[in-house]
Structure 1
Amino acid sequence: MARDEPARRRLSRAESKARTRELLLDAAARTFARKGFAGASVEEIAEAAGFSIGALYSNFGGKEQLFLELLSARASGRLREAAQILEDPAVADPLGALSAQLVEVADKDVDFALLQAEFWLYAVRNPRLMDTLAEQQHDVQGALKDLVDREMRRRGHRIGVPGEHVAVVALALFQGLVRQRRVDPGSVPDGLYGQALRWLFAGLAAEAGSPEPDGEESR
């Protein structure tokens, strides 16, 4: 029994650290949304979470790492939703459902989009951050490549271009249409992203010489 105590204490410390990180990330999200990335301070974030500045720095390198963690978590959540859409046999029109996801992001996630744009400008002006931001984006593109590969196999397509290139285009379409819908909602109808993906997949299939099935793809 005594031998189990250190393991329990280690688990408790790990759980405590994970909880501290979660509270700091939640506080950072609220503070960034209220004051913007440039306006928020590590002191305010730590205070909002109920911790010392030392606790913040012991879990994160600073404000920049906190924001990158938030970006990664948000992107991972969206990719999990997309994977569920593509894998759910009950979803009759998966590309249409992905369009609905884009509409949700464009119309309801405005605060975080502003922060993303602000952080992008900050990173451009601070080149030391560009490699870190690129690495975070590579992780997103890698996960998206897996989704694209599975979708192309499901459709029976053979593509002659690297899957990561298709993932970059699919991600750029998503990000660009989100921004365009925020500027001019009427120019991006609800189903446009799904239709754009159909055009992309159809073009890839035609280039590879594997024709689309008649009608809407069967699952």
Structure 2
Amino acid sequence: MKKPLTREEKQLQTRELLIDSARTVFSRDGYHAARLEVIATEAGFTKGAVYSNFSGKPELFLAVIDANLDISLDNPDMTVVNAYHGRYPLPPETQKLIDTAQGFALATLEFTAAAARDSELRPQITARLSRQLDSYTRDAAKSRSDDDPLTAEELGFFLSALEQGTSIHILAGGIPVDHSAYTEVVERITRRA
């Protein structure tokens, strides 16, 4: 017989369902157009469940960013930018994952622009960007040579800028990226070429 969930386990489960629903709704509708009622309904709850777990839309969006960072930092081969997207047909489930990731990336651009102008949100988005940058810095530290004139932090910054810039170009115009050229540039930056 299955043991009933504790109150804390139920709240964690509700929170996770809301985060999953929010990822879908933000990806589909964008940050500004997404409505908390829709997120709650698609998760099977009322809007009150959102406010029981989050102070509002910004905190919920940050929770989705945190969940996405956990996934991407635990799986470094997964990236928001899929260099092959649009170049040949993909299985429907893979295409759906890519579309969701790209939709959420666009919503993140909306949120980041708004957060940059908000003195309360700016430090929170900066903390998430720093977490991502730290991951790039660790990767750079593993591959840079001792005689490299750039520090691991500088290399990490440029790796982050390369991926973020490439992402923006792809998201804004659907510009396909040659995966081998992208890999070559990353290898040159990290001195692995």
TM-score (structure 1 length as normaliser) = 0.68
Q: What do the CA deviations read for 1:44-80 (whole angstroms, capped 9, x no partner)? A: 2222222233322232221111111212222332222
1:175 alignment counterpart: 164
Contact 2:81 2:102 in 1 (8 A): no
State whether structure 2 residue 22 is matched by structure 1 residue 28. Answer: yes
Structure with more helix by fraction: 1
Q: What do the CA deviations read for 1:96-155 (whole angstroms, capped 9, x no partner)? A: xx8xx5652783332122212211222234343111100111111123322222233xxx
Cα gap change, 1:181/1:49 in structure 2, threshold over 3 Å: closer, same or farther?
Answer: closer
Question: Any idea what SS the aligned residue of 1:25 has?
Answer: helix
Q: 1:116 aligns with which of 102, 108, 111?
A: 108
- Code of the residue aligned with 1:54 in structure 2: it is G
Paired with 2:56 and 2:109, the residues of 1 have a C-alpha distance of 19
1:205 alignment counterpart: none
Contact 1:173 1:193 in 2 (8 A): no
* Cα-Cα RMSD: 2.7
Paired with 1:163 and 1:49, the residues of 2 have a C-alpha distance of 42
Paired with 1:194 and 1:53, the residues of 2 have a C-alpha distance of 44
Alignment of 1:111-150 (within 5 A): 111-150=103-142
- Code of the residue aligned with 2:187 in structure 1: it is R
Paired with 2:174 and 2:51, the residues of 1 have a C-alpha distance of 41
Cα gap change, 1:59/1:164 in structure 2, threshold over 3 Å: closer, same or farther?
Answer: farther
1:185 alignment counterpart: 175
- Code of the residue aligned with 2:14 in structure 1: it is T
Question: Any idea what SS the aligned residue of 1:39 has?
Answer: coil
Structure 1 position 200, deviation (Å): 1.2
Question: Any idea what SS the aligned residue of 1:37 has?
Answer: coil
Paired with 2:83 and 2:58, the residues of 1 have a C-alpha distance of 23
- Code of the residue aligned with 1:174 in structure 2: it is E
Contact 2:84 2:179 in 1 (8 A): no
Contact 1:123 1:129 in 2 (8 A): yes
Identity rate, percent:
28
Structure 1 position 13, deviation (Å): 2.8
Q: Across the two proteins, how many residue pairs are aligned to each other?
A: 175
Paired with 1:112 and 1:102, the residues of 2 have a C-alpha distance of 9
Paired with 1:103 and 1:46, the residues of 2 have a C-alpha distance of 28
Paired with 1:105 and 1:44, the residues of 2 have a C-alpha distance of 32
> Greater shift after overlay, 69-78 or 191-200?
69-78
Structure 1 position 23, deviation (Å): 0.5
State whether structure 2 residue 66 is matched by structure 1 residue 104. Answer: no
Contact 1:72 1:136 in 2 (8 A): yes
Paired with 2:134 and 2:188, the residues of 1 have a C-alpha distance of 22
- Code of the residue aligned with 2:163 in structure 1: it is F
Contact 1:37 1:118 in 2 (8 A): yes
Q: Which runs of 5+ in 2 are unaligned?
A: 86-97
| RCO comparison, higher one (Cα < 8 Å, 6+) | 2
Contact 2:66 2:128 in 1 (8 A): yes
Q: Which runs of 5+ in 1 are unaligned?
A: 1-7, 86-97, 203-211
